[in-house]
Structure 1
Amino acid sequence: MLGKAEALVKRQHQRFFRKKATGDTNAGRGRQPTVNSDQGHVFQSSHQAHTMNTVDPSSRRERGQRNYIDTAVRFPVAQGMMDIDTTLNNQKPSETMRNEEVKELRKELGLAEQKIVSLEEEMAARDKDLIRLHADLEREQAVRKDERRLLDIRTQELQDAHAYSMRSDTLSTDELVAKVESLNAEIYQVSAYMADSMTFGARVDFEAVRAEAVHWFGSYMIDLLCSTINEETRMQVVQVAMQAALVQSCADFISMWHIERRTDENLSRLYAKIQATNTQVVAGRWRAMTRSGSKYESLSDVKKEWIKTVVRKLAIVLIFAGWTGVGTNPPWEASTSFLIKRYGERIEEIVHLAMDLDRGMGEGIVSEDIVIFSVGGGSSFVPDTMENGDGEFTVLDSDHVLCTCELGLKVSRSVQKDGYSAILVKPKVVLCSTMSDIIPTV
């Protein structure tokens, strides 16, 4: 503020000296300076005093200078000081207002800072809530994911159960009858072909496999194979024995639940319980699902194991029939190698037909149990359930079955139910009396 006053005084001085310079110039030109009424009054009084009295020129000049200073300097300075006071007085309220504004702004700043702190605390609290909600969301998503997985599992189970409950037969009984007839025809042709294409000599005694041979074929059949007979009769006996070996191999394998013996026994007992406590439809569907997943889990292994069993039984027939191909080689290895090399394709065809029949019976029919059946050696001949493979003639009551030469097919129910059985295809058998007519001395 003092700076403004000093500037005002400085401007007054500058104005004064400009006026003085102008006045000197006018005086030199014979002009009188223009003064205000007060100044005119001063000069008029001085002039009157000058005219009235004679005054020393130096004194007169000194008084003029004092008057000039009073007029030109003191008055402007006084006027400037008054202006300065006025300015300062005008600025004081502005300064006060400015201080008030500063105080107000500081107050607002303090409130704003408090608001910022409050908002930061609120944001921190919300961040914590957000983290907690995010964790809750992740847990909820994990729960929903588990629920979705369980729902998918339950849905699949319901779909499987629905398919299981709605599953119907995919094959008819007539189709199964056609399959078993095709298998029987192939067995007959292969047996006849093998018997016709082999040569036999003197029988070699192989006691190491005799017990196994008797178990499979019976002692009477082994005695027939070992008997001293002509070539034509031997070929007939060998053909019957090979038919019996192939038929029994197919019947045993089709009846199995699994190629491993213990698993087969367990599944067989379990199915008997299911049959006794459930309806046929439920039992049949369980059978279809179980057999497809157990017995034929590895198709190549099943086929390989079955071929091995068939070849082994056929080799026993060759050995006891005196097949000359044995020579000096170990008879067992020689027999099996010969059969696989020469008759492997025909044996595989029989296995293929038997597997097709097996899967059709076990998996294609669920409304009832259809089973393969054959007649064991030594059983009595029953015309209602079997046929004589040698043709229609009167069979004595004392006659017995030597072996089965063609497989039969029947519908079966568990004994716990009603034991109902309906034969679809009668098995064909070879009677002991038939072979006795061919070889009376045995």
Structure 2
Amino acid sequence: MAQFNKTAPHLRLLSRPSAQKEVTALNDALKSAQQELARSQEKAISERDIAQNDAREHARESERLAEEKKQLKHEAEETRSATQAKLETARQNIRGAQGVASRAEARSNELQRELTAVREELRQTAALLETRSVELRAAQVFLTRADDIADSEVVRMVTNLNSCVFQIAAVAADAFQSRCRVGDSKEDEDACAKLVSAGGIGRNVVDALARVDHTIDNTLVQVALQGIMTAYAHQLCSRWGCADEKNLMELYASIKAQEPQSVAGRWRSLFRTHVRQLREREGGESGKAVAGFVEALVTVLRVCGVADDTNVLYLELQRAHADALQTVVSLVFEFRRAAGEAIVSHDFSVVSVGAQETYDEARMEDEWEGPKKRRQKGEVEAARPVCCTTGLGLLREGNGSEGGRVLLVKPKVILSSIVDKL
């Protein structure tokens, strides 16, 4: 109090009541300060206790973490050791596997080389087998003597062809008989020259066609139509279907002279088969053949004096005989395939007799007069020239001693004497 009084001398100047109030206020302030200090101390103590507890907890946590770290470090060390051991084992296994793989690869390469060699040997064997098989088939083709078609079938084709030609000629002659007249125009003369140059009918018959009145008897017209169609059919049947047939026929004759019939016949069969296939791809041969027949008929009718325009006459004949002419062409091509491709044991060819050739009863048949009575011994028959061939004959030929020549069907002819008889 003395100290208080010393530090605050001015307070002695205050009145007693004021001092008393001041003291009371100061005491209250002191109490308040003491209470605040006590609270602060309590708070500080509480915070200290909390901090101490937190420190202790932190220490315990640190110890725990240190222990865990130690444990983890120990476990990691053990894991690392185990992993290193496993890694080393794996490395050893890998080295072993690499060795096995290397040996397997070497063995695989060796087997692959062996397989390649075996495949190459197999390929060469297969190629050799194919070559030998082709050679064997080729040899069998050339050595076989079996024909795909019998001789009687070929005879039937020629007989049917002759019959169709006869029917077309007869129908056409009847259809145009009333329109024939004695020709004297330039077109008629050109038609005569064309008919003579065709070579199927003799000149004397052509002249007779131009000057005879056919409205009474159309026999000569029919004979001429039949003869010109037969001549054209002979040309078609004899063709091989390629260019330069003359040299080709000479080549085939040389082969026949030097090779067996089986070889020569098979060569001819193969050649004509492939030529026909090439021609079929080109197309149009059948149409050209029909057109050739129609043109031949037009030429004969013009010579006989049918005055229609050539183109009109062509179209009329084409319309009237299209089916029948197509049948003739089909038979011609059928004969060509049979005689040229299907038969190798012999050679078949159609036979016709040229105009003005002397009639020989042994080689031909007179269709107009039929067989003559047998001549008396020592009787000599006068030479009789042929007018034209009206029916194709059929000749079969073998190579050398393998068959010779056999006339299976005699060609039918009309003699030039028909002109005098008509």
Q: In structure 2, give the amino acid aligned to 1:378.
A: Q
- The answer as to 2:377 corresponding to 1:397 is no
**Aligned residue number for residue 433 of structure 1:** 417
Q: C-alpha distance in 2, partners of 1:334/1:396?
A: 47
Query: C-alpha offsets along residues 360-389 of structure 1, whole Å, 9 cap, x if unaligned?
Result: 333443322222101011211122111222
Query: C-alpha offsets along residues 12-31 of structure 1, whole Å, 9 cap, x if unaligned?
Result: xxxxxxxxxxxxxxxxxxxx
Aligned 8 A contact 2:145 2:345 in 1: no
**Aligned residue number for residue 74 of structure 2:** none
Q: CA deviation at 1:318?
A: 1.9
Aligned residues: 325
- The answer as to 2:259 corresponding to 1:278 is yes
**Aligned residue number for residue 393 of structure 2:** 408
Query: C-alpha offsets along residues 237-282 of structure 1, whole Å, 9 cap, x if unaligned?
Result: 2211111111112211111111x332x3454233222211222233
**Aligned residue number for residue 206 of structure 2:** 222
**Aligned residue number for residue 291 of structure 2:** 308
1:209-358 to 2 correspondence within 5 Å? 211-216=193-198, 217=200, 218-233=202-217, 235-258=218-241, 260-262=242-244, 264-295=245-276, 298=279, 301-326=284-309, 331=310, 333-358=311-336
**Aligned residue number for residue 140 of structure 2:** 162
**Aligned residue number for residue 171 of structure 2:** 193
What secondary structure sits across from 1:366 in the alignment? coil
What secondary structure sits across from 1:382 in the alignment? coil
Unaligned runs of 5+ residues in structure 2 are 1-80
Equivalent residue for 1:377, pick from 355, 358, 383: 355
Query: C-alpha offsets along residues 180-218 of structure 1, whole Å, 9 cap, x if unaligned?
Result: 222222211211110000122352323656554322134
What secondary structure sits across from 2:408 in the alignment? strand
- The answer as to 2:107 corresponding to 1:123 is no
**Residues 120, 171 of structure 1: alpha-carbon distance in 2 compared, 3 angstrom cutoff:** closer
Percent identity of paired positions between Structure 1 and Structure 2: 27
Aligned 8 A contact 2:214 2:304 in 1: no
Unaligned runs of 5+ residues in structure 1 are 1-101
**Residues 261, 111 of structure 1: alpha-carbon distance in 2 compared, 3 angstrom cutoff:** closer
Q: C-alpha distance in 2, partners of 1:173/1:240?
A: 29
Q: In structure 2, give the amino acid aligned to 1:220.
A: N
Q: C-alpha distance in 2, partners of 1:119/1:175?
A: 81
1:104-119 to 2 correspondence within 5 Å? 117=95
- TM-score between the two structures when normalised by the length of structure 2: 0.66
Larger radius of gyration: 1
Q: C-alpha distance in 2, partners of 1:113/1:179?
A: 92
Q: C-alpha distance in 2, partners of 1:194/1:117?
A: 103
Query: C-alpha offsets along residues 40-75 of structure 1, whole Å, 9 cap, x if unaligned?
Result: xxxxxxxxxxxxxxxxxxxxxxxxxxxxxxxxxxxx
Q: C-alpha distance in 2, partners of 1:427/1:157?
A: 42
Aligned 8 A contact 1:276 1:417 in 2: no
Q: CA deviation at 1:437?
A: 3.2
Q: In structure 2, give the amino acid aligned to 1:279.
A: P
Q: CA deviation at 1:420?
A: 3.6
Aligned 8 A contact 2:182 2:210 in 1: no
**Aligned residue number for residue 388 of structure 1:** 366
- TM-score between the two structures when normalised by the length of structure 1: 0.63
Q: CA deviation at 1:113?
A: 5.6
Q: In structure 2, give the amino acid aligned to 1:311.
A: V
